[in-house]
Amino acid sequence: MKWGSQKKSIALGLLVLAVTLPFIAAATTANLPRFGVTVNFPTTLDVFTRDMAQDDPVLKLYGLTADEARSQLDSEGLDVMAVDIAGTFTLTLQVRADDRTLADMDAQTLTALAAAYKGQAYELFTARGNPYILIKADNGVDLACVFLGGGMRYELMLNANHRLSASMVSLLKGIAANTDFDLGQ
């Protein structure tokens, strides 16, 4: 193996570690029992859920009570909200009933779905056997990761304070890869 290829291998290994390391010790697990969904979020996010304990340190950090956090999520129709501890983006998660599946969609339907999220380009990817569509909005700051299947729509949205970065895309894909769907399998 030549030194140049060793450097590339080391760089690739470090990139994989950087993307997966925050998930090894997930700070928060959000359970959404009405849909059979469990989402593991990395330690780099402050996560607000509907079932937060009153003594959760994240609440104290933001000067909120569990009831106030729940009320805020309810008012926005969200199941989870997460804030990057560096303050560069926020994430929201909404799961709701939807009978469509990505597998049943043709290119025209997928393009229309991307347009609904204010994007033109989309990427299909699979994580843990589940198909997702990743949509970058044309504004350059919004990113959607959507799973359609099992009678639900899982919608993970990232809103960057400035421009989207490759690490934000990797993080969103990593969260998708750390989501468990109880789809009766």
Segment 41-80, tens digit of pLDDT: 999 999 999 999 999 999 999 999 999 999 999 999 999 9
Say whether domain 26-181 belongs to CATH 3.40.1000.10: yes
User: For 124-169, what is each residue's pLDDT tens digit?
Assistant: 999 988 999 999 999 999 999 999 988 999 999 999 999 999 999 9
Q: b/e per residue, 160-177, with b = 16+ CB within 10 A?
A: beeebeeebbebbbbbbb
CA distances from 127 to 48, 108, 133, 164 (A): 24, 23, 11, 21
pLDDT of residue 27: 55
CA distances from 185 to 31, 129, 154 (A): 18, 11, 18
Find all residues with CB under 8 Å of 155, minimum gap 6, and list them. 93, 94, 95, 96, 144, 145, 146
| Domain layout of the chain by residue ranges | 26-181
